[in-house]
Structure 1
Amino acid sequence: MIVGYARVSTTDQDLAVQIAALTAQGCEKIFSEKRSGTNTQRDQLSAAMDFVREGDTLLVTRLDRFARSAHDLHSLVHRLIHNGVGFRCTEQGGVDTTTSSGKLMLSMLGAVAEFETEIRKERQLEGIAAAKARGVYKGRQRATDSSTIRAMLDEGMKPGEVARSLGVSRMTVHRAKLST
């Protein structure tokens, strides 16, 4: 059985292109989710990994949809191979763990993908530093005003209640409480 896995990083992105590509390659079942690849809780990926059986092939469109680091990639692929499951990519045709050259290609592309991620992070940090130097970067806006949190605490609400009612973490409440 060919089983597909599709993932986009944000809820406003569309899975349709990946699902169409996986369907065109003969996937009989497709697991999909909208979750950042850096998030370790990828429920549908876990479900796909648990679903596949010996003789099956897990198919993805690109390696970066499956794993974010070379270590993560090799760990996931090792688990598949250990269970007798093949792994292939539609857009990176040389990646096929059922062949020796495909395994080599997988290692090389995994290293390149990790390198690209690191370069992207460096560029982002450089951009933030430049924006801060120009005075245009203010960081993310606060989730809520500290005075609002302190007022709620002064009214007798417990930190957990304040956090839930404002949709912030308990740590945010404690920081506001300490900033008095």
Structure 2
Amino acid sequence: MLIGYARAGTDECTLEEQVWHLHDEGCETIYEDPLPEEEKERPGLTRLLQVARTGDIVIVYRLDRLARSTQHLLEIAESLRQKGAGLRSIREPWADTTSPEGRIVMTVFAGIADFERALIRERTTAGRMQARQRGIHMGRPSKLSPADNAEIYKMATQDGLPIADIAEQFSVHKATIYRIISKFRSENG
């Protein structure tokens, strides 16, 4: 039996498009997880892995719809293998565990993809560190100006105003006030 699996994502491939492709491939049953990317629970995938049996082939539009990491992909593929089921990807024809060649190719490509993600992560981290060293601010812009920060520090340390009152006056969280105080103390010894 051909079993499809589709998971919503934030990219150009909608859940509906994936389901259409899976029907086109001949999937008799399709399990879906229409939840946002942040969701950890995937009841559709869990159910699919419970019902898969010998001779079944699980088909996905792309491997990234099935697993979030190489390790997770390999765990799912192994779980299906132990049940006597296979795995195939529509967009990655090399990912077909129903043949020995497909299994080895998928494992190699999965490893290469994982290596590439690690390189990208490493380059991104290095780029952020270099930007910080050049004084480039990362993240969203601060709601407070340097003059506001100086005023907050003065109000908290010299005037002795309560942190909650200062935070309310500047419409920020108390933790922001504590960070400003800590920053001023470390910069001014």
Q: 1:4 to 1:75 in 2, by over 3 A?
A: same
Coordinate RMSD, CA, aligned: 3.5
* Greater radius of gyration (CA): 2
Confirm whether residue 136 of structure 1 aligns to residue 137 of structure 2.
Answer: yes
- The answer on whether the counterparts of 1:35 and 1:42 sit within 8 Å (CA) in structure 2 is no
Aligned residue-pair number: 153
Indicate the SS of the match to 1:88: strand
- 2:9/2:15 contact within 8 Å kept: no
1:90 is aligned to 2:93: no
Match of 1:71 in 2: 71
Relative to structure 1, the CA distance from residue 46 to residue 138 in structure 2 (aligned partners, 3 Å threshold; closer, same or farther) is: same
Alignment gaps of 5+ in structure 2: 143-162, 179-189
Counterpart for residue 102 of structure 2: 102
Deviation for aligned residue 1:16: 2.5
Instruction: Confirm whether residue 48 of structure 1 aligns to residue 48 of structure 2.
Output: yes
Structure 1 residue 10: Cα displacement:
3.8
Provide the C-alpha distance between the structure 1 equivalents of 2:20 and 2:135, rounded to a whole number of angstroms. 44
In 2 relative to 1, CA 25–135 (structure 1 residues): closer, same or farther, beyond 3 Å? Answer: same
Higher normalized contact order (CA 8 Å, seq sep 6+, divided by chain length):
1
Tell me the TM-score normalized by structure 2: 0.64
CA distance in 2, matches of 1:11, 1:29: 24
Which range moved further: 3-12 or 16-25?
A: 3-12
| Residues 13 and 130 (structure 1), Cα distance of their counterparts in 2 relative to 1, 3 Å cut | farther
TM-score normalised per structure 1: 0.66
Identity level (%): 29
